DNA sequence: CGGTATCCAAAAAGATACTG
DNA sequence: CAGTATCTTTTTGGATACCG
């Protein structure tokens, strides 16, 4: 398993026949989505309750947030703790496993911050190109 | 811009009021998906033609591949080059901008390889828990 | 507060056929 | 080979209402 991890990106997930590894594909499907990155970002500082989280991710619906949280919990990335009180409270916190994702996610996130302008320009250029194909 | 990039993940994309930055959200939506990671992985070694790529990503439909490639091209991550010949050939290659994504993607990819077992176990545990809620 | 259930519309995925 | 076009089926998103 370590030998796989040590491969360069070029070889990552590829076996000798150059086919991409199925297990990584499955996991990427589980974790490589916008809300997971943003939720983990929000929680990596300190635990948050459902509605606190919802306010951080302004624009997310409670349905989408619930679904994303369930998947992250199921995958062991974060923990859900019900705090019994008169007004029920549910606290979400990052697990040790989730912590190991912090670095990769930060790298991704930092990239988006640093390159958003470049990407925007590329999009403009691309859209101009096929607007006038002559 | 650099000051943003230097924040911890906790603060990433958050402004003073703790709300997540919209531009990073938009970009994450564009790049943080399974096929983008896998396609870039495949291309980061050497350029590949459409069907070569398709074979690497065994299981992807040509529609999904075409769409992912178009988005990556539009975002300036990879370049499309038509090689005129009797049998038409189209070569996809990583751009300099795409190269800057190589590291973040590799980090993500490596994580999936290293943690797939742990996640699988977490899923089993989770699924057992609510199978028998008594 | 922190959800679940339901319904509908919209979008995405998939299969198949066709083309320069 | 490298797609596009079309159609069908699934999934998703969003709004709303309700519950412990």
Q: Among all chains, which residue has been given the structure tokens 């988005």? A: B71
Give per-residue pLDDT as tens, A53-108.
999 988 899 999 999 999 999 999 999 999 998 889 999 999 999 999 999 999 99
Gap between the terminal Cα atoms of chain B:
52
A101 at interface of B, judged by CB pairs closer than 8 A: yes
> Whole-prediction pTM value?
0.86
> What pLDDT score does B130 carry?
73
Mutate to test the interface with B, among A2, A6, A9 (most CBs of B within 10 A): A9
| Per-position DSSP letters for A42-77, written without gaps between them | HHTTS-EEHHHHHHHTTT--HHHHHHHHHHHHHTTS
Per-residue b/e over A40-77, b at no fewer than 16 CB within 10 Å? bbbbbeeebebebbbbbbeebeeeebeebbebbbbbbb
A11 at interface of B, judged by CB pairs closer than 8 A: yes
Please indicate whether, in this complex, the C-beta atoms of B119 and A27 are within 8 angstroms of each other: yes
> What pLDDT score does A86 carry?
87
Give per-residue pLDDT as tens, B86-129.
889 999 999 999 999 999 999 998 999 899 999 999 999 999 88
- Cα-Cα-Cα-Cα torsion A111, A46, A68, A28, nearest 10 degrees, comes to 40
Nearest CA of chain B to the CA of A124: how many Å? 8
A91 at interface of B, judged by CB pairs closer than 8 A: no
């Amino acid at each position: 398993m370590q030998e796989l991890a040590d491969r360069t990106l070029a070889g990552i997930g590829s076996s000798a026949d150059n086919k991409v590894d199925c297990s990584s594909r499955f996991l990427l499907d589980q974790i490589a989505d916008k809300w997971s990155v943003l939720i983990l970002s929000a929680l990596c500082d300190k635990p948050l309750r459902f509605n606190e989280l919802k306010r951080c991710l302004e624009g997310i619906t409670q349905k989408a947030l619930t679904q994303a949280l369930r998947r992250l919990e199921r995958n062991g990335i974060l923990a859900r703790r019900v705090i019994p009180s008169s007004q029920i409270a549910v606290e979400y916190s990052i697990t040790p496993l989730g912590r190991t994702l912090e670095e990769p996610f930060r790298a991704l996130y930092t990239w988006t911050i640093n390159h958003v302008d470049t990407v925007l320009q590329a999009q403009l250029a691309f859209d101009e190109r096929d607007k006038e194909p002559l």
